[in-house]
Structures are given as C-alpha cells and as structure tokens.
Amino acid sequence: DVKVTQSSRYLVKRTGEKVFLECVQDMDHENMFWYRQDPGLGLRLIYFSYDVKMKEKGDIPEGYSVSREKKERFSLILESASTNQTSMYLCASSLIRTTNQPQHFGDGTRLSIL
Amino acid sequence: AQKITQTQPGMFVQEKEAVTLDCTYDTSDPSYGLFWYKQPSSGEMIFLIYQGSYDQQNATEGRYSLNFQKARKSANLVISASQLGDSAMYFCAMREGRANAGKSTFGDGTTLTVKP
C-alpha cells in the first residue's frame, strides 16, 4: 500500500512565523502535490513537483514556497504565516506517466494561524 | 470555465438505498482519466474508483459504480445499498493526458449524508 505521511495532523502557529509542513511518500512516486482545502472551495493546488528539485506553481502559490531535495519528501513552507492561511493542507503523490493512476493522499494537516 | 462541475453541494439518502452523485467535466484531450475520492470527516482522501476515457465499460468497485456518458461528458458515481459509513464528502477529479506532470483537477465536492 502506498503511504503518504504528513508530519502533523494539527498545528497551531503565530502570525509571522515561518511554518514547515512535511510530507513523505514511500512508493517512489515522481509527482508530489500540496493542496489547500477550505469549505466551499474544494481542493486548490498550491505547488507540485514532478522530480527532485523541480517545482511548478499551482493555482494559489502566493505566500508559499516548496522544497524537494529528495524524491520521497516534499515540504511546504509558509514564509511568514498569516491568519488567512488557516486551512486544511493535503499532500498527495502519484506516478507521472499515465492518466490511470490516482493520487494518494496523506491524512491532512489542520493548520491554525493565530 | 470549470473543468469539473459537481452541481450538488449536499445530498441525503436513506440507508440501504442507492444514490447518484453527479459530475460533469470539460476537456478537449482525447486521453483522460476520471476519479472519485471519498473524504470522511476525519479528513483523509480515499480513492474509490477510476474510469478511463477509452474504457468501453463502466467501472465498478464493489458498491461503487461509475455511470460514464462520454458524449455528455458526465461521470456520475452510483453508490448502491448506502451505509451510514458512506456519509462523507465526495470529490470528482480528472487527469488529462497532456498534463504530463500528472496534475488533477478536482470538483468542489458533494456532501453525502446517509440517514438511518
């Protein structure tokens, strides 16, 4: 079974802090993704990566950055956290080459910025 | 234009009855995949079922089936014999062949409540 592990289920941080959300997958997937989920807005893609050190902006990259130094690990960084970044964050991974592969998700991190 | 449209924000169904969750999509790519995911209140996203654009038959996985109407660009999820544990949010998603990086587009979701 594919396992995608997010470092925290719940996280509380303060405005202005630098926040790191970590995600690790164990199935050698090329693709990794970070989404943000808010009520009524579905899943919005923040950033994705299709290879080590490669990254591309998604739909809402402002205020976020990412790091992928190793294939299995994809980190989301909130450079200076703000209250409007309070949200559920989901990490996912998938194989790159075919359209029939689903994304595999972590359990999510509920982040509160005070 | 939205690529994935789920028109039902919320649905109710009686336990043991069948329910259909709607999904329409928009793409010009002849090669694509359609997925349904379930998200319980605990938050994890669970992959349920997949339908490929070239598949001749509707996909089935246990109590889940996909009513795939290619000409209408719809991929509705049918859950038979609903159970209380089916109460969750359901997302339809599409992965297009041109998007080699494997991005998927998600709908806004439908919240299903199963009544005892």
pLDDT at B104: 87
- Nearest residue to B111 via CA among B5, B3, B6: B6
- Residue from B8, B44, B64 to probe the interface with A (highest A Cβ count within 10 Å): B44
Contact B98, B111 (CB under 8 A): no
One digit per residue, pLDDT tens: chain A, 114 residues?
A: 669 999 999 999 999 999 999 999 998 999 999 999 998 788 999 999 988 988 999 999 999 999 999 999 999 999 999 999 999 999 999 987 677 888 999 999 999 999
B25 near A CB under 8 A: no
For residue B111, pLDDT beyond 90: yes
Q: Is the pLDDT of residue B100 over 80?
A: no
Other CB atoms closer than 10 Å to residue B16's CB: what's the count?
Answer: 11
Q: What is the mean pLDDT of residues B2-29?
A: 94
pLDDT tens by residue, A3-17: 999 999 999 999 999
User: Which residue among B50, B96, B107 sits closest to A100, beta carbon to beta carbon?
Assistant: B50
Percent of chain B with pLDDT over 90: 81
Q: Inform me whether the C-beta atom of residue B43 falls under 8 Å from chain A C-beta atoms.
A: yes
By three-state DSSP, how is residue B51 classified? strand
Nearest-by-Cβ selection for A94 from B53, B102, B108: B102
Work out the widest C-alpha separation in chain B, in whole angstroms. 44
Chain-chain contact of A96 with B44 (C-beta, under 8 angstroms):
no
DSSP state of A71: T
Q: What is the rounded average pLDDT of the residues B100-116?
A: 87
Q: Which of B108, B111, B88 is nearest to B42 (CA)?
A: B88
Q: How close is the nearest chain B Cα to the Cα of A112, in Å?
A: 15
In chain A, whose CA is at the least distance from the CA of B42?
A: A107
Phi, psi dihedral angles at B69 (to 5 degrees): -120, 95
